[in-house]
Structure 1
């Protein structure tokens, strides 16, 4: 094994999740697969062709570099939507390649129009509205200027979409705020439509909004975390499952993160293990040394808390997680040998280490944990 760990991605799990989401949203709503953050740690280069094989033809990314990686790795044509970072100098590249992109500032709208005129083709824009997230998007005053500009540049700018983003649809704590955002969005869209600006798509819903606020599905949903088999929050899952007769999670996790035992070490009772004095052996112990540490995305906060699977049995991380290795207690697991498989995340036998449990131990969100998995961990597709 050239690398100290590797990631397996399940095609059947992805197909299951896509089929479930399509049943939820119905046939008339566009499914945009969100692959920002290196496809939530699954790897754009590996995930995007797999998603296409499972029937996806619309992708959303954060930045131009992600769009470029996507463009180079999808085997079939697809719509690519850039939701965030796109420098004005990159607009030419984006328009040439028929990319769609969010516009949330007047200067980007003006530059996109000028570049479209230069290239002799229209810029496909999605007008992002500020409805209460207070991150990006046209507020009321800026929207009036954008509206006037669009009216005089219809031949250069194609209004593909009008969109916004909710500030925490995964938590009922934000319920009233989300509803206020939705009402503000409706008012702003109505104003634009009355002025003759008719978008092809209205879209507001992320995974959490799609489940908890079905009215937000509109013409398209931007689905990230759920296609990878994870819920935006325990609360989102509870709200969904409470409405179902069958109390079974419909999603399947795609990812298994694995390594192997690099070495075995016998440690006498009373010895400290690893850096510092955070763990003292309470008895004679046998440790498995696993070649994965915080440099590889295994959080240092999992020191003396994390668990892995070896021979289908949970084994505790002992001592501080190092940059490149960690120590695991295998004293009570019989017949452990060097090179035995170690599951850091995923299933082995009847046991599993879930992203949720992993995240709770390390105080990380599902999203944070996955997107921190380094690019250079190999990723392989399995059935």
Structure 2
């Protein structure tokens, strides 16, 4: 394989999740698959291919470089929406390739109008409104200027959408803030509509808002973490499951991250394992060396805390996680050999290592853990 680890992506799990999400939002709400951050670590190219096979026809990316990677992978017609970074020189490329994109500053809106006029082709823009996130978006005091630019370039700017992003819909402590954002969004939208600009799509909901605030679903939802089989937060999951008679998680995880035993080491009682003196063998031990470390996305904070699966049994990480290897204690696991499969994340037999368990042990968010998986780990699609 020429790689020390690899990632499996389950197509059947994705189909399950897409079916669940479509059932939740209903037939009249568009589902946009958010694949920023290398499809949350799953890989833009393999994920987009199976997503299309699962019926997805709308993708949201953060930047032009992600759109550039996505474009050649699409086998069927699909919409690509760039939500963030898009330099002005890239606007012509985006318009020429039928990309839709967020605008959240006058400079980009003006330059988009100029680029569209040069190409004699309308640019499909989504106005992002500032409602309280204080990151990107047009504030209330900028709406008049926005309207002026839209009017000036009305032949070449198509108002495809009006959107915003909620600042923490995954936590109930942000409830009042989210409600205030929603109110501000509606007020600004009414100003646009009163001036004759009605967007084709109103969209505000991420995964957490889609679950916790159904009124935010509107014309389209931008779904990231949930399509990959994970919940935005324990609170979101508890809220959802608490309203159901059947207390079963409807989502399935797509990802399995695997490696193998590189070699075995026999360590005498009293000896230290790995760098420094963080772990001392309390008895004679057998240690398996696994060729994955923090350079490959396995956090150093999991030193002496992490677990992997070998032969269907949990094995504890001992010593400091190195750049390229880790050591795991396998004394009690029967018949461990060089080359045996090691599951770092996912299922083996009846046991599983969850993304949540990584978060609990390493303080990493599930989003953070997944997106830190290096891009050069090979991803393979499995059933």
Smaller-chain TM-score bracket: over 0.9
* Matching of residues 157-196 of structure 1 within 5 Å: 157-196=157-196
Match in the other structure for 2:96: 96
Match in the other structure for 2:207: 207
Task: Report the alpha carbon displacement of residue 157 of structure 1 after superposing the two structures with TM.
Answer: 0.2
Structure 1 residue runs of 4 or more that deviate by more than 3 Å after TM superposition: none
Three-state SS of the structure 1 residue aligned to 2:298 is coil
2: CA distance, partners of 1:334 / 1:374: 32
Render the CA deviation track for 1:101-149: whole Å, top value 9, x for unaligned: 0000000000000000000011100000000000000001222201121
Match in the other structure for 2:259: 259
Match in the other structure for 1:116: 116
2: CA distance, partners of 1:373 / 1:30: 29
Which structure 1 residue ranges, 5 or more long, are not aligned? none
Three-state SS of the structure 1 residue aligned to 2:203 is strand
Task: Report the alpha carbon displacement of residue 76 of structure 1 after superposing the two structures with TM.
Answer: 1.4
* Matching of residues 12-27 of structure 1 within 5 Å: 12-27=12-27
Match in the other structure for 2:59: 59
Task: Report the alpha carbon displacement of residue 284 of structure 1 after superposing the two structures with TM.
Answer: 0.4
Render the CA deviation track for 1:151-190: whole Å, top value 9, x for unaligned: 2321110000000000000000100000000000000001
Render the CA deviation track for 1:317-348: whole Å, top value 9, x for unaligned: 00000000000000000101000000000000
Render the CA deviation track for 1:50-86: whole Å, top value 9, x for unaligned: 0000000000000000000000111112100000000
Task: Report the alpha carbon displacement of residue 366 of structure 1 after superposing the two structures with TM.
Answer: 0.4
Three-state SS of the structure 2 residue aligned to 1:8 is strand
1: CA distance, partners of 2:105 / 2:147: 12
Aligned CA-pair RMSD: 0.5
Match in the other structure for 1:35: 35
2: CA distance, partners of 1:243 / 1:297: 36
* Matching of residues 1-383 of structure 1 within 5 Å: 1-383=1-383
Three-state SS of the structure 2 residue aligned to 1:227 is helix
1: CA distance, partners of 2:178 / 2:242: 21
1: CA distance, partners of 2:245 / 2:104: 42
Three-state SS of the structure 1 residue aligned to 2:160 is strand
2: CA distance, partners of 1:6 / 1:95: 36
2: CA distance, partners of 1:200 / 1:169: 24
Q: Taking structure 2 as the reference length, what is the TM-score of the superposition?
A: 1.00
Three-state SS of the structure 2 residue aligned to 1:143 is helix
Three-state SS of the structure 1 residue aligned to 2:282 is coil
Name whichever of 142-151 and 314-323 sits farther off: 142-151
